[in-house]
Structure 1
Amino acid sequence: MANGPETPVTDGARRIVISVDAMGGDRGPAAVVAGLGVSAAAFADVDFILHGNQTELARLVDGEAGLAGRVTLRHSERVVSMHDKPSQVMRHGEGTSMWSCVESVKQGEAKVAVSCGNTGALMAVSMLRLRKLPGINRPAIASLWPSRNPGGFNVMLDMGADVKAESGDLLQFAMMGASYARNGLGLTRPRVGLLNVGTEEHKGRAELKEAHDLLGQAAEAGSFDYIGFVEGSDIPSDRVDVIVTDGFTGNVALKTGEGTAKLISDFLKEEFNASVFSRLAALFALGTLRRLQRRMDPRRANGGVFLGLNGTVVKSHGSADATGVAAALRLARQLAAADFQDRLAARVASGIRAGQDAAAEATPSDTATGTGGGTKE
């Protein structure tokens, strides 16, 4: 039986509470609640605040035996659709399941918010209710990208929170991305690369060259190794752990990768169904194909994290099924257990100081008077 509006039950041990928007996804609340069931079975220390139509959700939650006593329902009359404009949601979003979901993090009831809803609207609501961390110019969306690294993924940001980024923004993205890689992928000292049209230092726009210098100077303060410029072919490689870029480039790369993966999958299906012999070959290769499918399954990497806010928000893919929702919840639980938000805020603060120091070293007045031409130790 689902709990009412009271605080989720605890057993005396440390409980992690995740706030979940049940209504925003393409597959409806049934897929979200099924994902909660998968997550609850995997993690005994997690409780949920579930936002949406209470009558519908109570029926779905009661059908998942593993959710008994672990879900608080919060009724919301309205839903943010995939077609709603962010500006409209900012003005009239109060009372929606998305707004209520983020509000639970703002009020300290939950550590992380998770939603499958409209990305632009979710970012708008998150910025309005949670606000940016001190010193952050632009928040960023970080996503996991399948790679050849031992953990199977790289981190890439920004994936579309803002289409542009100045050199200082890219420095902040690097700091936040490195912190995410430490807490989300367990990397002690992530390797950070700056996406460019080539690896040579003379290539790229002026803001990229400026960011290149800033990242090199701030690497020690950020506890990451800066490897310099990387190219598009490096995104899935084992050469780098965190790829930094602006939101326009990142989003284009993400959609291109998703489209290419689907195209390859469609081509394989067509070829293996082309004749009797190819269907027989598919039977012999069935085990290999299933392993390949598991490695390429986008549901394993479901969950983009909004970075740079006073609270953690995980954006699940709109079309996520129970497996995809459970993956987003697993990521949310991992970040909450690692106290990611506090660590991120501390790292951002150190990065801002490092960036200010780097900028001070290169001011024209310093070089003109001969007082600051060298590099600080």
Structure 2
Amino acid sequence: MKIVIDAFGGDNAPLEIIKGAVKAQEHFKIEICLTGNENIIKKVAKENNIDISNIEINHTEDVIPVDETPNAIMKEYNNSSMALGLKMVANNEADGFVSAGNSGALCVGGTLIVKRLKGVKRPGFAPVLPTFNGSSFMLIDGGANLDARPEILRQFGILGSVYMEKVMHRESPRVALANVGTESHKGGDLQKDTYALLQESPVNFVGNVESREISNGACDVYVCDGFTGNILLKNYEGVAKSLSHTVTDIFKKSVKNKIGALFVYGDLMKFKETMNTDVYGGAPILGIKKPVFKAHGSSNATTIFNAVRLTIDYINANVPQVIEDSFNKLKGIK
């Protein structure tokens, strides 16, 4: 098994990417290939005493900027470290790809280079987020499709259910629809029509769920259009970050508070770990022929290691075939 990693994607590239790649190769005993400028990769590894003798490097000097338009990966940046990794997967030179780079470009490249699975109308960007009860849920779509039809949202529900069952090992994942109320008649035409379709789909549909409930573990898969999903995603991440900083500031406020912090330090660290997105590795782009994972832009070595772990689980579970089988069950359902 070979996993390709974009060495120049993300804020902490290439050092943290290299460290994560080496850790994954040593732990999982698989082939790892880094795409990017070979001279820089070797220079950074040498400066930080990192042995990369077991890591393959596929050289290219191009890197797609994080603020570049998504379609640029098919044009002026079609030989970037990201594009090169996607091409290796598409050409069966590797089994999966991980990048912490430009999200939009990765979604476009995954769709047009790796290609969609048969029957998939639109791939979904699907981040897995932590909950306060120590569990997690998938948000799909997280921003790849700003508008969507009911049949596309139904497909998102199926894609998310397969992933949460096969990769996250969630038995009979609860699929919910994002809405402004729990009643079946709530929302606009998109929500009402999607509700009806999900009721007839081969998933464990639990109805509408309001966004205030997702952090408490109300569902395993939260389905919405990409516009709604991206707002939810950024708000979720922002609130979690603000909450963490606020708690820290409170305990630093006075000597009395600092002493109090000593008594609850262990519980605070457990809480912090509960809300740590690094353990989930990244967001899969679901609905394409091979596993492609988008790691967070601020990914460190641990994030990359976990992204590789999830990619391996995705491959071993044969997720693409399971998705195609699930879509075949839709035949005859109007």
Q: What SS is found at the alignment partner of 2:297?
A: coil
Cα deviation for residue 238 of structure 1 reads 3.4
Q: Could you say if the C-alpha distance between residues 286 and 140 of structure 1 is closer, same or farther in structure 2, counting changes exceeding 3 Å? A: same
8 Å CA contact 2:282–2:293 kept in 1: the answer is: yes
**Alignment of 1:276 onto 2:276:** no
C-alpha separation between the residues in 1 aligned to 2:132 and 2:15? 34
Shift of 1:142: 1.0
Contact 2:4 2:33 in 1 (8 A): yes
Give a deviation string over 1:103-159, Cα, whole Å, max 9, x none.
Answer: 111011211110010001111222221222222222111111212667x21122000
Deviation at 1:296, TM superposition (A): 1.4
Q: For the residues of structure 1 that align with 2:171 and 2:245, how far apart are their CA atoms?
A: 38
CA deviation profile, 1:139-194 (whole Å, cap 9, x unmatched): 111111212667x2112200001111111001110110111111121123211111
Comparing 253-262 and 328-337, the one that deviates more: 328-337
Match of 2:272 in 1: 293
- Could you say which residue in structure 1 is the equivalent of 2:180? 197
1:313 and 2:312 matched: no
Deviations along 1:33-85, whole A, 9 cap, x unmatched? 111122233322x21111001122234556434x543x221001211111211
Q: Does the 8 Å contact 2:123/2:287 carry over to 1?
A: yes
Inter-CA distance 29–283: structure 2 relative to 1 (3 Å threshold): same
1:122-271 maps to which residues of 2 (within 5 A)?
122-147=106-131, 152-219=135-202, 224-271=203-250
Moved more, 106-115 or 324-333: 324-333
Percent sequence identity is: 31
What stretches of structure 2 of length at least 5 have no aligned partner?
none
Aligned letter for 2:185?
Answer: H
Partner Cα separation in structure 1 for residue 312 and residue 45 of structure 2: 20
Which secondary structure state, in structure 1, belongs to the residue aligned with residue 127 of structure 2? strand
What TM-score, normalized by structure 1, do the two folds share? 0.84
Contact 2:25 2:32 in 1 (8 A): no
Determine if contact 2:15/2:45 at 8 Å carries over to the other structure.
no
Match of 2:326 among 325, 328, 347: 347
Q: Is the 8 A contact 2:131 2:275 kept in 1?
A: no
Name whichever of 185-194 and 162-171 sits farther off. Answer: 185-194
Alignment match, 1:364 = none
C-alpha distance in 2 between matches for 1:207 and 1:109: 40
Q: TM-score scaled by structure 2?
A: 0.94
**Contact 1:58–1:73 (CA under 8 A) maintained in structure 2:** no
Q: How large is the RMSD of aligned CA atoms in angstroms?
A: 1.7
Measure, in 2, the Cα distance between the counterparts of 1:47 and 1:149. 36
Equivalent-residue separation in structure 1 for 2:246 and 2:153 (angstroms):
37
* Closer/same/farther in 2, CA of residues 267 and 188 from structure 1, 3 Å limit: closer
User: What is the DSSP-based 3-state SS (H/G/I as helix, E as strand, rest coil) of the residue aligned with 1:204?
Assistant: coil
Match of 1:218, SS?
A: coil
- CA shift digits 1:309-335 (9 cap, x unpaired): 122210001111111221212211221
Separation in 2, partners of 1:286, 1:56: 41
Tell me which residue corresponds to 1:64: 50
The number of residues matched between the two structures is 332
Distance 2:326 2:167 in 1: 15
1:145–1:235 CA contact under 8 A, matched in 2? no
User: What secondary structure sits across from 1:154 in the alignment?
Assistant: strand
